[in-house]
Amino acid sequence: MNRFAKLFAALDQTTKTNAKVTALAGYFRDAPDDDKLWTIALLSGRRPRRTVTTTSLREWAAEAARIPLWLFEECYPIVGDLAETIALILPPATRTSDRSLTHWITEIRALAARDEPARKAAILDAWDQLGSTERFLFNKLITGGFRIGVSQKLMTRALAQATGHDEAALAHRLMGDWTPDRTSFHALVEADDPAAELSRPYPFYLAYQLDTAPEDLGPVTDWLAEHKWDGIRGQLVLRGGQHFVWSRGEDLMTDRFPELAAAVDFVPPGTVIDGEILAWKDASPLSFSALQKRIGRKTVPKKLLAEAPVILKAYDLLEWQGEDLRATPLAARRTLLENLIEGLPNTAPIRLSPALDAANWRHLAQARAKSRALGAEGLMLKRKDSAYQIGRKKGDWWKWKVDPLSVDAVMIYAQQGHGRRANLFTDFTFAVWDAGNLVPFTKAYSGLTDAEFRQITQWVRKNTIDRYGPVRAVTPTYVFEIHFEGIQASPRHKSGIALRFPRIARWRHDKPIQEANTLQDLREILASYG
């Protein structure tokens, strides 16, 4: 694992993209194939299944460090990362070893079949022969979540450099349902494999939030406008008589949405459609919370299928008659898509995401303003002559979302962040007034600058009135403007409501806490938009 640890250190020690790509490319040139394959897997979110609970890891680490468990628990929020806390707290290793990354992953996975004492012995044995970085990585392999500042895109670029393959072709190859068990480095990166190609989705093209006035985009006639649907982005792949449904995060969701299987009856093989999976009844989408019930389920009970049936709201055609259309201009892809859907019966689980007619930008602005009432989050603007690109690229596709819903709330609890923001108070609970009391209704994390987080951190330290584990109650003093995308009734919460995508928009230094919103205000928003 020394080589992998060196790679990690090199990536961790720089903030410069080129240096990261160089380090990764060097690794991809020199490392053994098995390790390369696992590295690609880890950096694309394919981690081994957890075989040891974090509870056990904490106990064993505290025991090995000869400290009480409560002291370990005190360290964790300050370090901000469990794998790192364990690595820091353990006594120095008494032996050294240089087993490969693949060796350790194999060891960790083998623990699944063993009993708890055997697991403990194996983990303690591993800790005792790994250096500090290696230990941290070993723990990360167990606990998961390999966020080390390397995006899949950056990894793909490095792999392209090391192998001489085209980056876009590699990005496509790395998509889909592979795991290191079922492929090899050669098969994944080098060889032609028709079976793997059958299910493989295309890398998704992602839009940026519009950051200028729409008029700055040029004539409205250059643009295709449609609603931005509030569902799950998905690709429906039909090849060789089978169908596959992929999420943007490359999860294979085929079994979760059995309704889409009917597509095979209507749509010819050699077709890939990009669209939004929505819970849909009659002619309009159900709320996102209806869809949410479906997301967590691998198999769907009949009742739920009836309550929240899904469709694919189609907006792009990436493959037709087995041909990759991504370089074809959007307008032409769109014509093919419209023709395809026009021929489908009403019972087919695919609907067209209609293009909005507009003579000028003002018309579109009006459509955008009304979109929340239609269950949409705003508009998408796509340049008619645009190709279907890879990843997030500026210029041709824009999200033009409706203004978020907003409420002014009082901060009442604070908690330290994790990872990059460990040691700063970044996680806050906010409250609104109800009959003279402050009722908590949401948490929010993002939205302040690092300087503001530092300022609030110092303030929290001096104004703590109570502690509940890592949570601190603070003197209600500051009002924050909270933005959110949606609201729903929630009996699980004390306030009776739950927000979607809450975030801090502004620190309202100008507002005293008496002027914060009330629970009644939230109930009215719920009545209008819930």
Partner 1 sequence: MAVLSVTPEGIYCEAGGFHIDPWRPVDRALITHGHADHARPGHRRYLCTGPAAPVIRHRLGQIDLDTMRYGEERRIDGATVSFHPAGHVPGSAQIRVAVSGEVWVVSGDYKLEPDGLCEPFEPVQADTFITECTFGLPVFTWTPQAEVAQDINRWWADTVAAGRTPILGAYSLGKAQRILTMLDAAIGPILTHGAIENTNEVLRAQGIALPATIRVTPDTDPKRHPGAVVLAPPSALGSAWANRFGATSTAFASGWMRLRGVRRRRAADRGFVISDHADWPGLNAAIRETGAERVLVTHGYTAQFRRWLETQGYDAQEVETEFEGESLETAEPDSAA
CB of 489 to partner 1, least distance (A): 37
Amino acid in position 236: L
Q: Of the two residues 458 and 528, which places its CB atom closer to partner 1 in the complex?
A: 458
* DSSP-assigned letters across all residues of 442-485: EEE---S-HHHHHHHHHHHHHSEEEEETTEEEE-S--EEEEEES
| Amino acid, res. 526 | L
Q: Please give the C-alpha separations between residue 335 and each of 172, 276, 331, 384, 398, in angstroms, as whole numbers.
A: 25, 18, 6, 11, 20
- Of 15 and 346, the one with the shorter C-beta distance to partner 1 is 15
By the 8 A CB rule, do 386 and 396 touch? yes
Helices and strands (H, E) in the chain, number of each type = 20, 22
Determine the Cα–Cα distance for residues 168 and 492; give it in Å rounded to an integer. Answer: 46
Closer residue to partner 1 in complex, CB, 14/389: 14
Residue with tokens 């959007």: 330
CA distance 150 to 182: 24
Question: Is-catalytic flag, 401?
Answer: no
Least distance between partner 1 and beta carbon 524 (Å): 40
> What is the rounded CA–CA span in Å between residue 244 and residue 196?
12
In terms of CB distance, is 323 or 466 closer to partner 1? 466
Shortest spacing between CB 147 and partner 1, in angstroms:
11
- CA distance linking residue 482 with residue 225, whole number of Å: 29
| Closest distance to partner 1 from the beta carbon of 122 (Å) | 24
Q: How far is the CB of 128 from partner 1 (least distance, A)?
A: 16
Question: Which contiguous run of DSSP H or E holds residue 266?
Answer: helix 263-266
71 or 527, CB closer to partner 1? 71
Binding interface with partner 1 (CB under 8 A): 12-15, 65, 67-68, 70-71, 74-75, 78-81, 84-85, 88-89, 149, 418-424, 450-451, 454, 458
- In the complex, least distance from residue 458 CB atom to partner 1, rounded to whole angstroms: 7
Q: Report the distance separating Cα 312 and Cα 238, nearest Å.
A: 14
Identity of the residue, 84 or 481, whose beta carbon is nearer to partner 1 in the bound complex: 84
- 365-371: long-range contacts, CB 8 A cutoff, minimum separation 24: 365/214, 367/225, 368/400, 368/402, 369/402, 371/227, 371/228, 371/402
Amino acid at 229: W
Q: Are strands 350-352 and 310-320 parallel, antiparallel or unpaired?
A: parallel
Catalytic residue among 36, 120, 228, 313: 228
| Closer of 261 and 422 to partner 1 (Cβ) | 422
Q: Which residues contact 282 (CB under 8 A, 6 or more apart)?
A: none
Residues 315, 207: Cα–Cα separation, whole Å: 14
What's the min distance (Å) between Cβ of 516 and partner 1? 29
Nearer to partner 1, 74 or 515 (CB): 74
Report the alpha-carbon distance of residue 392 to residue 288 in Å, rounded.
24
State how far the alpha carbon of 349 is from the alpha carbons of 239, 251, 303, 496, in Å.
17, 20, 18, 34
Supply the minimum distance, in Å, between the C-beta of residue 89 and partner 1. Answer: 5
Which active-site residues does the annotation give? Answer: 228
